[in-house]
Structure formats: C-alpha cells, structure tokens
Amino acid sequence: MEYTIQQLSKIAGVTTRTLRYYDEIQLLKPLRLNKAGHRMYGEKEVNRLQHILFYRELELPLHTIQLILSDSDFHELNALQEHYAQLLQKKERMQSLLQTLEKTMASHEGRLMMSAQEKFAGFKTEQLLKNEELYGEELKERYGEAAVLAANAKFQTLNQEEYSVAQEIEKEMIHLLKKAMDSGDAKGKLAEQAAALHKEWLCYYWPSYSKKAHAGLAHLYKEDERFSAYYNQKQSGMTSFLVDAILHYTKK
C-alpha cells in the first residue's frame, strides 16, 4: 500500500512540512514521485518514519538518527527492542520524577520528611548528560551507538540502593588501588582485587560484560587524558597502574 504525503502526515501525526524537511536532509526519502510530482510513501518508508519518531521521542538529534538508520548493522527488530527498553526506562524516569515531586510537595505541606537522597533521586539524567558531553563521542566510536544507548538505559533504571552500592564499590576500589600502588605490583593480589572491583562497578552500568570490552576501556583510560585525569586526581599515576591491573586481570 502507498500513501500520499498528506495521508502519511495524518496517520503519523506529523506535518507535511516535517516530511518534506526529512526528504530534503535525506532522512526519509519517498518511495517515488507520482506523475504529478507528488511524494508517495510505501511500507518501508512508513516503518522508517516510525523509527525516526521513536528516536525523536528519546530526544536524539536528527543527525544522530541519520547515522543510526544508515548504519550497515542496523536491524529493525533489534532497534524496536531497544526502543521498547529505552522508552520503558524513560517511563520509569518520569515516574521517579513524579514521585520526587509528590514527596517534595508533601514535605512542604508537613505531611512527611524527605532525606537528601530522596530529594535528588530523580535527577540522574544530569549525570548522563554530563558524561555524554565529556565522553560520548569516544565511547560511541569504540563501542558503537547501540551499546552506549543501552548502557545509558541501564544507568537510568538503577534504583537509589543500587546506585549507592555502585558508589561504595568504586570507593573501595580506589582504596585498594592506593594500597596496591604502595606495593608497586600491578599484578599482585591487591591489584587483582581492585581490578575485580572495577569489573563489579562496571556491571552496574554496562548492560553486559566481556573481558575484551573491559580491556578496551582500560586502553581508553590511558589514551585519553580526560579519562586519565579522573583517576590521577585521586593519586598521581593511578590511571596507568589501574590500566596495568585491568589488562593483567582480563588476560587471566
């Protein structure tokens, strides 16, 4: 079945001006032009528009959507599954924000007391945006757009208890790293324990774990000064030591 631009506009709930713009930027080309020169869309174009609107709902910019849909590895069913997972976490994030607002209003009315953690439970998005701004391009280039989006989705679904545990694991890892650095052995027992804690910490944020990906992240720590600075600010030389510990750990 084919649709005119007016018909598709009505079905999809977007303006004909939007569809023309998508055509101009090569994001959504029509199937063909009829004899009168009007745009005609088939089922393939309808499906592509659905994906575009899903990604727009996730607030991705058009140029990013273009890259995703043009990727040779793009798979429609996988994309739909990712849409579902990401929209589900968006729903949960909105519910979290609504709950925070409800509790805040109740607190102002004197009906309950809120802890400091409860007041900020709905704002993990800010950290995601900061991470995206600082490291997004490098991570997408190394691991792929889909992997980064999946990791972001998992982070958003962490509850406060899980988030707090992850933070405590990171603190313990830093403590062990400092002790291991005192020994000077990046392949010793303390360094291995620190690398194992680094893996445990990652698993709170990564949708899946592999030694190859873990080692790849270690290399990124060493190659990019922004990543290096994070650990080196804890103690001079910590990044290089951690990288060596992780590479030893992932080879075992």
For residues 1-13, give the mean pLDDT.
Answer: 95
Phi, psi of 27 (to 5 degrees): -85, -40
189 and 129 share one domain? no
What would the pLDDT profile of 10-45 be if each residue is shown by its tens digit? 999 999 999 999 999 999 999 999 999 999 999 999
Phi, psi of 144 (to 5 degrees): 100, 150
101 and 128 share one domain? yes
38 and 96 share one domain? no
131 and 196 share one domain? no
Residue after which a domain boundary falls, among 107, 139, 157: 157
150 and 180 share one domain? no
> Residue 175 pLDDT > 80, yes or no?
yes
167 and 239 share one domain? yes
Residue with tokens 């793009």: 74
164 and 206 share one domain? yes
> Residue 247 pLDDT > 80, yes or no?
yes
Residue after which a domain boundary falls, among 94, 124, 157: 157
What would the pLDDT profile of 145-171 be if each residue is shown by its tens digit? 777 777 777 777 777 778 889 889 999
189 and 232 share one domain? yes
> Residue 174 pLDDT > 80, yes or no?
yes
Identify the pLDDT of residue 103. Answer: 77
Instruction: Please report whether residue 70 resides in a domain.
Output: no
Instruction: Please report whether residue 169 resides in a domain.
Output: yes
d(CA 124, CA 126): 5
Instruction: Please report whether residue 69 resides in a domain.
Output: no
176 and 92 share one domain? no
Q: Which residue has the higher pLDDT, 7 or 230?
A: 7
**Average pLDDT of the chain?**
85
For residues 96-112, give the mean pLDDT.
Answer: 78
Instruction: Please report whether residue 66 resides in a domain.
Output: no
Residues of the domain holding 187: 159-252
- We report the CATH number of the domain holding residue 21 as 1.10.1660.10
Report the share of the chain in percent with pLDDT over 90.
47
For residues 38-61, give the mean pLDDT.
Answer: 91
Instruction: Please report whether residue 226 resides in a domain.
Output: yes
Residue 78: how many other CB atoms lie within 10 Å: 11
Name the band, by pLDDT with cuts 50, 70 and 90, for residue 98: confident
Q: Which residue has the higher pLDDT, 82 or 203?
A: 203
What would the pLDDT profile of 208-246 be if each residue is shown by its tens digit? 899 999 999 999 888 888 778 889 989 999 999 999 999
Split into its structural domains, the chain has a count of 3
- We report the CATH number of the domain holding residue 208 as 1.10.490.50
